[in-house]
Amino acid sequence: MKSIYHHLFDALSDKAGQVHIDYLCLGLGYTAVVTSQGDLGLAYTYFDHKTGCTLIRDYQDFEGRTATDLLALIHSAAPLEKSMALALINALCLPDLISLSPDRGNDILFDCLGIAPASKVAMVGFFKPLVSLLRSRGAEVEVLDEFRSMGQKELFYEKLGRWAEAAIITSTSLLNNSFEEIATHMATDVRAALVGPSTPMVAEAFSDWPMIKALAGTVPLENEPILKAVRHGLGTPYLHKYSKKATLVLGSG
């Protein structure tokens, strides 16, 4: 089976060959890429520890170059380079996402996952607003977030495989190479979604993971205020003022 990164590369390689990179910015919170067609994509800026002033060891100036060169970094072992490639992927996807209905209240997402009173939900990455909404629907929620020291991985994985009926997974799992490990611990009947502004809403890329029923991401609507927010280190709440939260339901849902 091909890795998720090979699936993403293969799904977007033709589009990448047709455009160039106009703008690339690695902000403190998010990374932004704008293509020569004016399409903007975002991804979380992921790095573990800042030990010096140089974060990119093998610097390349991608602006003005074909997007294929930057897309290739989705295979990089460095999460920061993956952040740039994933932002590009989201830019390449943008024209296909504009027509998606807004899902600001997460109703499409929750309906796709079958969230109901007493639903058992495993969450990788703590999304406080989602936890509040899930519990308001009467769902039980178990969280694993290593950055916040929430949950124990072994116990969480056991619940993911035996207890959970639904799973919500942060899209940063694609940046720290944990997505496939998480997926291997899911029961086959779990209904799962990848969520967050980094989420690549590329249905065909997830064909080998049929438990992924939805891709919930961010569709940028206004470039200038979003790019300013990225440059100024602002986070998701501000970005969503100029974006549309949307959920792409995969297959029959």
Six token digits for residue 195: 């969520």
Tokens of 76: 């990089």
CB 170 within 8 A of CB 199: no
Three-state DSSP class for residue 158 = helix
Predicted local distance difference test score (pLDDT) of residue 91: 98
Q: What confidence score (pLDDT) does residue 73 get?
A: 97
Residue range(s) occupied by CATH 3.30.390.100 in the chain: 4-97
Per-residue pLDDT tens for 30-66?
A: 999 999 999 999 999 998 776 667 667 788 899 999 9
Closest CA to 47 of 96, 92, 82, 5: 82
Separation of alpha carbons 253 and 251, rounded Å: 5
Query: Could you give the dihedral angle defined by the CA atoms of residues 40, 41, 47 and 52, in that order, rounded to the nearest 10 degrees?
Result: -10
What average pLDDT score do residues 232-253 get? Answer: 91
Read off the pLDDT of residues 147-187 as tens digits, 9 standing for 90 and up: 899 999 999 999 999 999 999 999 999 999 999 999 999 99
Strands 140-144 and 120-124: parallel
The β-bridge relationship of strands 40-44 and 21-26 is unpaired
**What is the Cα–Cα distance from 210 to 204, expressed in whole angstroms?**
11
DSSP H helices, 25-167, are: 67-71, 79-97, 107-113, 128-136, 153-162
pLDDT at 253 over 80: no
Give 247's strand partners. 216
Task: Record the pTM.
Answer: 0.95
* pLDDT single digits (tens) 112-142: 999 999 999 999 999 999 999 999 999 999 9
CA distance 107 to 92: 26
- Using an 8 Å Cβ cutoff, are 165 and 213 in contact? no
Q: Where in the chain is the domain with CATH 3.40.50.11590?
A: 107-249
Instruction: For residues 9 and 7, give the distance between their C-alpha atoms in angstroms, rounded to a whole number.
Output: 6
For the segment(s) 107-249, the CATH number from 3.40.50.11590, 1.10.3720.10, 3.40.50.300, 1.10.10.10 is 3.40.50.11590
CB-based contact 41:33 (threshold 8 Å): yes
CATH 3.40.50.150 fits 4-97, yes or no: no
Residue given tokens 């919930």 in the structure block? 216
136's CB contacts (< 8 A; 6+ apart) are none
Distance between CA atoms of residues 75 and 71, nearest Å: 9
* Sign of the alpha-carbon dihedral angle for 233, 25, 212, 97: positive
Give me the helices (H) in 163-220, please.
Answer: 179-184
- Token representation of residue 51: 């030990």
Which DSSP letter does residue 101 get? P
